Amino acid sequence: MATRTAARRGKANGAGPEPTPAERLLAALGPTGDRYFEDANLGDFGLPARVDTETFLEPHAKAGPASRLGPLEKVHAFWFAGMSCDGCSVAVTGAQAPSLEDLLLGAHPGLPRVVLHHPVINLESGPHYLRPHELALKGELDAPYVIILEGSNTDETHPIETGGYWAGVGEEPWGPDGQMRTVTTDEWIARLAPGAAASLAIGTCATWGGIPSAAGNPTGAMSLMDFLGKDYRSALGVPVVNVPGCPPIGDNFNETVAAILYFLQGFGPLPEFDDLGRPAWLFGETVHRHCVRGAYYEEGNYAEEFGDPECLVEIGCWGPVVNCNITSRGAINYHGGCMNSGGACIGCTMPGFPDKFTPFHKRPPGSAVSTAASRVLGSLITPLRRYSNEHLDREVRWDLHGEVPSGWASEKTEPGFIRGYGHKFYDRLRRSGDGGKSNAETWGKQTEWTQERDPARELELPGGPESTTTGTTGPRET
Ligand code: SF4
Ligand code: SF4
C-alpha cells in the first residue's frame, strides 16, 4: 500500500516513475558479479540419488528431438515459494487435464516437456538444485525458461538491513566478499523475470496478495504484479499471467501452462487473458451461473444452516459476484468443489480476498434485495412448476387408463378434476402453433372436453379389452 501511495504521489508531483519493489530490492542488493558455484566444488552434497530430476526423467520422456512437432523440445520452469502454505503445489500435483506427470514427460503431442525445478519435488538439493538457476541468470541455460510463483512476494528491503529475510531459496556466494548468503525468493524473481519467456502467478497470494497481504500484515506482502510493476513484460512481451484461487484448481493452472506452451510451440495464438491477466475462458463466469444450487436461488429457497441442500446465500455465499469456475470444473477432475460439498463461496479467487469478504459466512449485504425478489417470484413459479411436473411425471397411457400401474402408486395421488383439466390446458399450450397436430389428442387424465367421445376409437386403446393397434389412442373413461 505504501508503495502504491508513493507511486501516486510521484506521478502527482510530475516526478519520474517510482521504482518497482523489484527494482528497489536489486538496487539495495547490488550485482552478483560473476560469483557462482564452481563445477569442481559441487560434489555429492544435495545429490543423494546421484542423479538430478531432469537426467532421471529424460529416458522416459516422450518429447525428444526425433518426436517433437515444434521448435521446442523442452522448457525449464522455475517454481518459487513466497509467503505460501504450499497448497498451490498440492493442487498442481493433483491436476488431471493435463497432469503434472504428462507435462514432465512431454506426453501431449506437440508440447515440449517441462523441466520443473521445484524445491519439494526435485531429487536434487543444495548447489545442484541451484545450478540451473545460475545458468539461467548467466544466459547459459539449454532451453527457454518460465518462472512460477506461489505465495506472495514480500518487502525484503527491511529485513536485509538487519541480516534477515522473509522467504528464501538456497544460498549463493553473492555476499560482498563472495561469502554465502541466503537468496530470497524476491531476489531470484527480480533477477530471473526479465529473461523469462513468461512469468506466472499461481494462487491468490501470488496473483493478488491474498491472506499474507491482509490488513495488518508485517511483511509488506504483495502480488507478483505489484512486485514487478505495471510495465513488466517477459522476454516474449507477455505481462504477468494470473491463475488465482486459494488453493487454485490445479487443472486451471496446468491447462493455462499447456495453452502457453502451445503458443510458444507455434501451434496456437496466445490464449485470451482478461484485464487482470486471468485466463479469460476460465474466469469469465461467476460461481453462481454454474452452481448446482442455482435453481434453489431462483425459486427463493435458502439454506438456514450448513448441511441443508438449498442455496447458501443467506449463510454467507458470495457466489453471485465472484469469478471462479469451480462449479463447472470441480476441485479435482470434475469432482468436489465448494457448493457441491456443502461450502459457501468466500471469494477466494478475488483480488479483494480476504479483507473484503470478512467476516466469513455472514450474509453478503447486497443479497437481501435479490433474495427478496426471488422469494416473490419463487412463490409464483414454484407451484406452477409443481403443477407441470405432476403432468409430465405420468405416461400418456396412464392418463388414458386413469391409473398408474405401479405397486408404489398407492403413494401417488391421482390428479383430481381441476388438476386433470389443468394438465390438458397445459398440453394445449404446448402444442399451440403446431399446425400438424391441431386435431390431435390432448394428454391429461380427464376426458377430452372439446371432442365428442368416439366409442370406436376407445376400443383401439392399447391394452384395452379389444385392442388391436398400438399407434392410435383415444380417451377412456376412468
Ligand atoms: S450457493 Fe452460492 S453460488 Fe450457489 S446458488 Fe446459492 S448464492 Fe449462488
Ligand atoms: S467457489 Fe468461492 S470459495 Fe470456492 S474456490 Fe471458488 S472463489 Fe474460492
- Here the CATH number for the domain that contains residue 302 is 4.10.480.10
For residues 216 and 363, state if they share a domain: no
For residues 379 and 400, state if they share a domain: no
Task: Answer whether 345 contacts ligand 1 (Cβ < 6 A).
Answer: yes
170-191 tens-digit pLDDT = 999 998 888 999 999 999 999 9
Range ranked top by mean pLDDT from 61-65, 232-236, 389-393, 447-451: 232-236
For residues 114 and 248, state if they share a domain: yes
For residues 57 and 149, state if they share a domain: yes
For residues 462 and 383, state if they share a domain: no
Ligand closest to Cα of 346 equals: 2
Identify the pLDDT of residue 234.
97
441: Cα within 13 Å, side-chain hemisphere: 21
More confident residue, 446 or 354: 354
Task: Answer whether 245 contacts ligand 2 (Cβ < 6 A).
Answer: yes
Looking at 283, 308, 342, the residue that finishes a domain is 283
Instruction: Say yes or no to pLDDT of 14 above 60.
Output: no
Query: What's the pTM?
Result: 0.86
Instruction: Say yes or no to pLDDT of 230 above 80.
Output: yes
Tell me whether the omega of the peptide bond preceding residue 365 falls within 30 degrees of 0, making it cis. Answer: no
DSSP letters spanning 249-297: PHHHHHHHHHHHHHHHHTSSPPPPB-TTS-BHHHHSSBGGGG-TTHHHH
For residues 279 and 322, state if they share a domain: no
For residues 94 and 229, state if they share a domain: yes
Residue nearest to atom 7 of ligand 1 (CA): 313
Looking at 358, 374, 392, the residue that finishes a domain is 392
For residues 386 and 398, state if they share a domain: no
Ligand closest to Cα of 327 equals: 2
For residues 64 and 205, state if they share a domain: yes
Identify the pLDDT of residue 407.
82
Q: Could you tell me the CATH number of the domain that includes residue 124? A: 3.40.50.700
Instruction: Say yes or no to pLDDT of 470 above 60.
Output: no
Task: Answer whether 344 contacts ligand 2 (Cβ < 6 A).
Answer: no
Domains identified in the chain, total number:
3
For residues 79 and 138, state if they share a domain: yes
Residue 241 is part of which domain span? 2-283
439 vs 7: CA distance, rounded Å: 76
More confident residue, 108 or 337: 337
CA 309 to ligand 2 center in whole angstroms = 18
Q: Calculate mean pLDDT across residues 431-439.
A: 79
Looking at 367, 392, 417, the residue that finishes a domain is 392
CA 96 to ligand 1 center in whole angstroms = 26
95-116 tens-digit pLDDT = 999 999 999 998 888 889 999 9
For residues 58 and 135, state if they share a domain: yes
For residues 33 and 154, state if they share a domain: yes
Identify the pLDDT of residue 1.
41
- A 10 A CB-CB count for 26 gives 17
Pocket test for ligand 1, best of 293, 299, 362, 375 (most atoms within 8 A of CB): 293
442-455 tens-digit pLDDT = 787 765 444 444 54
Alpha carbon 389 to chain centroid, angstroms: 35
